[in-house]
């Protein structure tokens, strides 16, 4: 299941650039240009992250954040040209989770989104994987319609790692370091088997093979 991001930016060119970049990187996006529209759509739909410009026509970004915080705890990343300490403080006090200053690189934006998502899902006991699947982070257990799905220990560890780094390319070395202990010898054939097991359960489209590098979990 793709992560869904609301883009609130009145600069049409920047709005479109961010939208195209995020969709290219596997996110689902909705974009608006006004604060009132942002509040309405955030109330009607569920998002994983909100990118929120501060200087908006009509309702300003800080007021939009306060309004959204009255009914939602969706992470908010402010996008702004304001760089004063008081502006940053105001942003966090109004409910923001992060703050990125214009001009910014799209790579930095994605890194900040990924970091917010990692914090969000590492604090949840269960993560929705779609199609009735959930992963119980606390117990390292996959569930299907609330019933346990048996996974070998390393397969469960691998799924946990994928979820924490959803949308990121994980090198084989990174995976080996996380799922094998220092007394064990990493095995590429075994890793391919673990990945195949997860694909058979969750669907082939959930895990992409990145040639000569590793894997990317997009489920």
Q: Any idea where the domains of the chain sit in the sequence?
A: 3-120, 126-217
Residue 121: per-residue pLDDT: 65
CATH architecture of 126-217: Orthogonal Bundle (1.10)
Q: What is the pLDDT of residue 88?
A: 63
Enumerate residues 6+ apart whose C-beta is below 8 A from 183.
none
Residue linked to tokens 């084989």: 172
Whole-number pLDDT of residue 87: 60
161: nearest Cα among 212, 98, 214: 214
Q: Which residues of the chain have pLDDT under 70?
A: 1, 83-92, 121-124
Cβ(61)–Cβ(93) under 8 Å?
no
CA 77 to centroid of chain Cα atoms: 12
210: which 2 tokens? Answer: 């990145």
pLDDT score, position 116: 87
Cα dihedral value 175, 178, 184, 186, nearest 10? 0
This prediction has a pTM of: 0.60
Domains 3-120 and 126-217 share a fold: no
| 3-120 to CATH, choices 1.10.40.30, 3.40.50.2300, 3.40.120.10, 3.30.930.10 | 3.40.50.2300
Nearest-CA neighbor of 171 among 153, 185, 191, 190? 191
Q: How far apart are CA 118 and CA 170, in angstroms?
A: 14
Per-residue tokens: 212? 């000569």
């Amino acid at each position: 299941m793709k992560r869904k991001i609301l883009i609130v930016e009145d600069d049409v060119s920047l709005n479109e650039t961010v939208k195209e970049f995020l969709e290219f990187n596997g996110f689902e996006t909705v974009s608006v240009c006004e604060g009132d529209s942002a509040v309405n759509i955030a109330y009607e739909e569920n998002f994983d992250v909100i990118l929120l410009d501060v200087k908006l026509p009509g309702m300003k970004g800080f007021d939009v954040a306060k309004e959204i915080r009255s009914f939602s705890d969706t992470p908010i990343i402010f996008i702004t040209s304001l760089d004063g300490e008081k502006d940053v403080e105001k942003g966090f006090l109004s409910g923001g989770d992060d703050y990125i200053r214009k001009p910014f690189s799209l790579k930095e934006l994605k890194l900040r989104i990924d970091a917010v998502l990692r914090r969000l899902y590492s604090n949840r006991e269960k993560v929705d994987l779609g199609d009735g699947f959930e992963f119980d982070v606390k117990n390292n257990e996959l569930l299907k319609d609330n019933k346990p799905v048996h996974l070998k220990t390393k397969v469960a560890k691998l799924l946990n790692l994928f979820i924490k780094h959803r949308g990121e390319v994980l090198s084989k070395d990174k995976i080996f370091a996380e799922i094998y202990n220092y007394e064990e010898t990493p095995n590429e054939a075994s890793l391919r088997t673990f990945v195949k097991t997860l694909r058979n359960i969750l669907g082939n489209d959930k895990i992409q093979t990145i040639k000569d590098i590793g894997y990317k979990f997009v489920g």
